[in-house]
A = this chain, B = another copy of it.
Amino acid sequence: MKKYRKLSGVKEIARLADVSIGTVDRVIHNRSGVSAKTKSKIETIIKQLNYQPNILASRLASGKVYRLAVLIPRGSEKTDFWDAPLKGIKRAEEEIKQYGISVATFFFDLNDKTSFIASTEQIKKQKRYDGVLMAPSFVKESLSFIRYCRDQSIPFVFIDSNIEVSGSLSYIGPPLFQSGFLGARLCTFGMKKTKKVLFITISKEKNRYNYSKIEEGFKNYFFENNVDHDLVKLTITDTEKESVFRNLEKAFVKHPDIEVIFVTNSRVFSVAQFLETKKYKQIHLVGYDFSKENQNYLKSGLIDFLICHKPEEQGYRGLMSLYHHLALHLPVDPMYFMPIDIVTKENQDFYR
């Protein structure tokens, strides 16, 4: 707890350069109005001193507030997946709000494009955001919104899924191909002979980029490892329970020898429900996301493995990356892949 006081940064630089601290500040922030000569003199000294600005002092003095807009799906009664990123965002907000960050969250409905558009319009109309964190769930609509952000020089960060040619500040999300690849491993673990695998996607949107990437990885596993298998693909576009049950029923009639089921998203719980009802307890089930329902079926043994990509951390990091970029002028990873976590009955109590 001893006191310790270095000579002030800008003051020291100003003294050495024989200028005022105002001029030093201009050079540090690359503001205009400094003669080339003075500028280079100051820059040399800054380098020599290996000067690191004191962010505490900077933020305190400036009193600037950066306003961030968050655009993510609303957590529904069906899956609480998006509650996790939101929790991470809230946690980040708590942590940095005293450092001059304010956050406004806009939600949209994953089943309703117009709600997405409405939110983007609102953000545009308010004209007061300095950064955007978003889940680009609707590609075309996202592209249009991104155009606006770029025009306004507003940095934007994607979480959960990516749009590749976009000029985003960062993408934070899962490595989907590898995630599907691991999924296949988990489906076939310990198997010696041929197995019949049912590959299910349950989603209103057809052709989602995410699902096809997962499928690619999944298939690639069998290919690379020369695993003999029999893959049955099933896509269910009506996500209601009755529809899922009906589709599964049909699949089992056609393929009574299914041994493993892989579900490409958090709706694996509805398949678990089906298996439970049917008492198909010997069938292995692998799926995605650490949602409440899924946790219950994991605990009861109907789901064998959940693959997760730290949704809470995605939200946390997403917001923090904007903070780092805007307020701290720190470099930000343009791609930050989440780990591919394997959650089982045995480790679920310690997963976050």
Q: Which residues of A line the B interface, CB within 8 A?
A: 1-5, 52, 54-57, 59-60, 63-67, 98-99, 128, 130, 175, 178, 181-182, 185, 189-191, 221, 337-342, 344-347, 349-352
Contacts and interface: CB of A to CB of B under 8 A. Distances in A.
A66 B5 CA distance: 13
Contacts of A65: 1-4
Contacts of A191: 190
Q: How many copies altogether?
A: 2
A35 B54 CA distance: 37
Given A340-B346, A340-B350, A341-B341, 9 more contacts: A1-B65, A3-B65, A52-B98, A54-B60, A56-B56, A56-B60, A60-B60, A182-B344, A337-B350
A59 B190 CA distance: 56
A128 B2 contact: yes
A55 B60 CA distance: 10
19 contacts: A4-B65, A54-B98, A55-B98, A56-B59, A56-B60, A56-B99, A175-B350, A182-B344, A182-B346, A189-B190, A190-B190, A190-B191, A339-B350, A339-B351, A339-B352, A340-B346, A341-B341, A342-B344, A342-B347
A286 to B, nearest CB: 12
Given A56-B60, A175-B350, A350-B178, A344 B185 contact: yes
A224 to B, nearest CB: 10
Contacts of A5: 63
Contact of A347 (B56, B60, B178): B178
A292 to B, nearest CB: 18
Nearest to A185: B346
A347 B351 contact: no
A311 B351 CA distance: 15
A346 to B, nearest CB: 4
Given A56-B59, A190-B191, A351-B339, A178 B346 contact: yes
A130 B4 CA distance: 15
A220 to B, nearest CB: 11
A56 B346 contact: no
Contacts of A347: 178, 182, 339-342
A81 B148 CA distance: 48
Given A64-B3, A339-B350, A56 B98 contact: yes
